[in-house]
Structures are given as C-alpha cells and as structure tokens.
Structure 1
Amino acid sequence: MLNLFSRNKQLLDEEIINWIFDSYDWAFKQFDPSVFFEETELVLPTNQYFPGEQNSINGMANLIFEQVKQHAGMTHWPTKLLNVTESEHQPVNPATLSVKGQLRGKQAQASFELGSSVEALSEDTKPTETKPAVTKATSTKTTSIKNNAFDESEYSTDLNLVMSAGHASEPNTGNNSINFSFHPQQLNSPEGLIAHFAQGLAQHLVSAAENPPPGGKEYLPVATELMGIFMGFGVIFANSAVVPRQGGCGGCGGGQSPVRQVVLNQDEATYALALFCCLKGIEKKQVVKHLKKHLRGLFKLALKDCERRLKQESRLSLSFAS
C-alpha cells in the first residue's frame, strides 16, 4: 500500500545540499571562523539594522551601503558608491587588488594596494555579468517616504526608507577605491538593494580566497551569493530572490528579482540560511516572522534537516554544538 503522506520528501537535490555544506566548510577554511561565530549577526530587514534618514537618493543609497559594509565586517575596505544615472562612463576598478591583513571583522585592519585601472566591476542590476577586479589576499588572519516593497501583512519588517531635510552623507571620493554602483530604482526594493550590495562585497571576498570554492571557477557566481548568506544576509537573500507581480503573493506568479542578479533560487537560499542558523544557534522564532510566508515551512524543514545532517556527518562537526 502506498503511503503518500508519511514518506520523506527531499527538500533539495542531494547534490545541491552537499554543495551548500561543502561551501560552508570551504568558507571556514578560507576566512577566519572566529568572525563568523563571534561577530557575524543574522541581519534582518528592520530599521534596527538599517537606521537613519537622508535627504537625497544618493545619500540614502550610501547610508545603506555603509551599513551593509558594517554588518559584513568590511568597513575597512576602500570603496566608492556611484549612481549609474549620473555617469556617462562605467565606473573603473583597479586591475589588481592586493590585501594584506584581515579581510573581515569589526576590528579588522588591512592595507590595500590597488593596481592600474581596467574594466569596471559593474554593481548594477546584474552585478555578476561583468568581470571583477582580480583580488589577491596575502593574509586572511592578521518629507517622509515609506517604502512600499514590503507587505507587512505577509511578514514582519519595519524597514522604511526615510528622506528628510538635512545634509546627505557623501561616499568615499578617493581615486584608490573599489567602485560599486546602484540605480535609483533599486531603492524601491530595500531588501533587493541590500542583497545587491552584499553580493558585490562577497564577490571580492570570494576572489580573495586562497582556494576556489567547491566546483571551481564555474561556481564563483553561486559561491558569491552563498558567501552573502554566510555573512549574515540570508533572510534578505531569500526574501529578495523572487519579487511578486503586482497583486501576487510572492510564492506564485512571481519572477526573478529585477534589482539584483539571482543565482541561488529562493529554496536554495532558504536552505543555506537554515544552515547558518543551525551553526549560529539561532532559534527559528527569531527568523520566521521576517521571512515571506511561503518560505516559512521550507525553512522549518530545512532547519531539521540541517540539524540531522550536522549530528550524523563529520562535515562542520567542529563548528556545530550538538
């Protein structure tokens, strides 16, 4: 007799799950694991994590970008944020970037040597379609506007973009900077914009690793997104993987996010988020209210699956407290 209701369903292809686990293991080996366990937070789409007001589009974008850098532990990186609608030319990045010191951390210090300029790392709505600067790390140790992108009846968020009278903060205007860019329309989707910025920062971190991610160079784009989740932006990546059509629910009738390049689909991003929460000991109740409704069930199942695998397998065993 067929027992259709009690059989176990595979959440994702086993190959994908294995890659996610292997990628976390790779990240621990390439980047200081103490930063992950002692400093990295689960970044939520709320004004607690993204406070402040600005009186201009550029000021608001730069405020968010600097906050993303802070949560990523990359405030010491020399960056410059550009509005693509204000420049006739692509922003130009250095041909090489050598990092001596710590790549991440609240107290991280490093020296950055930027080579001659070449084709830019385009951080527009499709940031992974252009070539990044080659990065080498010699050491990884040493009037009020409310955003309408969030449906508060679907999931909990209080992230509002507020522009007010006052002086806008200015981005780094130095020449020796890694250039990132944004389009003003991206501000209509705060989570998408945050993920977009985190993706760009993660791209440089992945490039700075001594060894390529599991799967090799072909997996660099997906490893970049995984790294963004590893840095604490998993809820935001999962929520912004699909943007619903007007009047849609997000689980049906949605399409790929127009504000950032999506590599991991929403299910894969949610699973990677679950692994992050298991490793960090974050309870599901802290997460589910900030996830879109159609992702909550998957997240709970993924948590159980990750806990089972971490207890049964040797991968990441040093990181997981059973």
Structure 2
Amino acid sequence: MFSQLFKNTPIVDDGTKAWIYDSFLWCLQNFDVDYFKQKSQIILPSNDFYPGKCSSPQEMAQTIFTNTLSYAGMSNWPIELVDISNYRNESMTQLALSKPIRGESSKIQYLIPSNTIKIPYQIDQIRQPQDFIAYLVQHLASIMLAQLKLTVPGGNDLQPQAIDLIACFLGFGVIFSNTAYQFKGGCGSCNIKALNRQNALPEVETVYALALFCASKGIAVSKIKPHLKSHLFKTLKSAHKEITYNLKDKNTQEYQLFFQVTNPA
C-alpha cells in the first residue's frame, strides 16, 4: 500500500508518451534531421527573436512572419502572408521538393508555374503575439505535411495533434506551451478569446514535447524558465529529467531509436 502511496504520478500516460516519441522520431526522419541537429534552436517569445516595436501593425505582422519562416527553416519556400481581406481560398500550389527541404541550401521549386502559397491573417492577431506566432507555425506545419504527402503517426484523425507536435519539433515548444490553454476568467482585457490559437495537443503533452526537444538538443531548461508560464515549469523540469535519462540509457528503447535516426550508417 505504501509503495503505491509514494509512487510518482506519470507526467503523461504510457500510450501518449509512446505517441510523442514516435511522432518526434517521425519528424526527424521526414523534416531534415541534419537541419535539426545543426540549426534548430529553441524559439523564445522575446525581443531577441521578435521585434518589440515596428512603424506600423502591418510591418509588425510581416516581420513576425518573416522571422517565423526563418526560424522554421522555410525562408526558401514560396509562402506569403496576406491580409484576410485580400485572401482567396484556392487549391494549394504544388511544389517539387528535394533534400534538404529546410535551411538556406534547400531547393524548393514549383511543380508547375503558379502563385505563392498564402497564409491569411487579421491585423488584430498581433495584439496577442504568441498566439499569432503559433497560428503561423500551424500553417507552416500543415503546408509541409501537404507538400510531402505524409500521413502522421496514428493516422489522419491525429493530424491536428501532430501539427502541434511538429511545431515543438521546429523549436516553437515554449510558445505552444504558453498558448495551449488560455484562462477564461477575469475581465478579458488580458486575453481576447477570438484571437487565441486553436490547440489540439493538450497543455501537459505540449510541455512534454518541449522537454523532448530540449533533451534532444542538450538545452538546459533554466534557459526557458523566464519565458514559460510559471505553472508549467515544474512539469517541464520533471519531463526533461525523465527524457534525458531515457535518451542516455543505452538499454532503453528511446535511446536505441534516437541513435538509429540521428546516427545513420
């Protein structure tokens, strides 16, 4: 009885944990493992990554978009941010992709002469910058899935959750953790519900995916603490400790799978 009483509660259940690991490995296999190892970084909601001021709301939106595209390694992709008033819903342009698909050396070409891929936005979205960034990254992840014609781990029913996990893989886990749940109480002046991003991966699972990114890249969670919602840090720290142990222990399945993907023969 007492052994059960003092037993640690799992951060996420075994099935969810297995899906997060499988999905992260799937990302490594499909979204340029070399770029991940050499270039991927943790993107923080700070002036070091995003500007604090611009001359106009439109310039702010475009700057956030340009920076986000760069941090995702997709600056060479023909993607454009457009005001929703100028947006027409049309079939996505098909691209011809060859490895590497991310970074400055990526080669992205039109399959047939066509227009850029457009992401619509409303100018009010910049009032909640982290939600806006997450919104953009969700679109970028969806575009990659569509262009590579990939089915996510667990099938199409889990695609919304997989898109949020891809965002964490791309380095945006702090921002996605911060925006996974928005408190609905209060006067509403601090948060506008209509501008919140649509999340599919729950808050704790998103933090676990963030921890997996940090452990994979050797990033100390202390670097993240000032930028993460305070109530999430304890979960992040525990998840990071657990994952770091698993990735270092050669007897674990997690170590063996990650080693195979990140150190191909």
TM-score category by the smaller chain?
0.7 to 0.9
Return 34-43 or 50-59, whichever deviates more: 50-59
Matched, 1:103 2:101: yes
> Which residue pairs with 2:204 in the alignment?
267
CA shift, 1:104, in A, is 1.0
CA shift, 1:259, in A, is 2.4
**Unaligned 5+ residue runs, structure 2?**
none
Aligned length: 254
> Which residue pairs with 1:177 in the alignment?
116
Going from structure 1 to structure 2, the CA distance change for 1:4 and 1:320 (only over 3 Å counts) comes to farther
Q: Deviations over 1:264-294 (max 9, x none)?
A: 1111110000000010000111112211011
Query: SS at the partner of 1:91?
Result: coil
| TM-score in terms of structure 2 length | 0.86
Task: Decide whether the 8 Å contact of 2:33 with 2:262 is kept in 1.
Answer: no
**Unaligned 5+ residue runs, structure 1?**
116-174, 249-253
Task: Decide whether the 8 Å contact of 1:256 with 1:262 is kept in 2.
Answer: no
Distance 2:112 2:208 in 1: 36
Return 26-35 or 61-70, whichever deviates more: 26-35
> Which residue pairs with 1:15 in the alignment?
15
Task: Indicate which of 88, 100, 115 corresponds to 1:91.
Answer: 88
Question: 1:52-91, aligned counterparts within 5 Å?
Answer: 53-84=53-84, 86-87=85-86, 90-91=87-88
Q: Deviations over 1:228-270 (max 9, x none)?
A: 110100000000112234649xxxxx99884211111111110
Distance 1:276 1:47 in 2: 22
Query: SS at the partner of 2:154?
Result: coil
Question: 1:289-300, aligned counterparts within 5 Å?
Answer: 289-300=226-237
Matched, 1:217 2:148: no
> Which residue pairs with 1:231 in the alignment?
170
For 2:136, give the aligned amino acid.
Answer: F
Task: Decide whether the 8 Å contact of 1:82 with 1:181 is kept in 2.
Answer: yes
Task: Decide whether the 8 Å contact of 2:43 with 2:172 is kept in 1.
Answer: yes
CA root-mean-square deviation: 2.5
Going from structure 1 to structure 2, the CA distance change for 1:255 and 1:223 (only over 3 Å counts) comes to farther
Task: Decide whether the 8 Å contact of 2:135 with 2:197 is kept in 1.
Answer: yes
> Which residue pairs with 2:110 in the alignment?
112
| TM-score in terms of structure 1 length | 0.72
For 1:67, give the aligned amino acid.
Answer: N
Distance 1:35 1:293 in 2: 31
The structure that is strand-richer by fraction is 1
Task: Decide whether the 8 Å contact of 1:206 with 1:220 is kept in 2.
Answer: no
Distance 1:114 1:58 in 2: 31
Distance 1:319 1:48 in 2: 31
For 2:233, give the aligned amino acid.
Answer: R
CA shift, 1:114, in A, is 5.4
Going from structure 1 to structure 2, the CA distance change for 1:42 and 1:255 (only over 3 Å counts) comes to same
Overall identity of the aligned pairs, in %: 31
Query: SS at the partner of 1:81?
Result: strand
Distance 1:177 1:112 in 2: 9
Query: SS at the partner of 1:315?
Result: helix
For 1:71, give the aligned amino acid.
Answer: Y
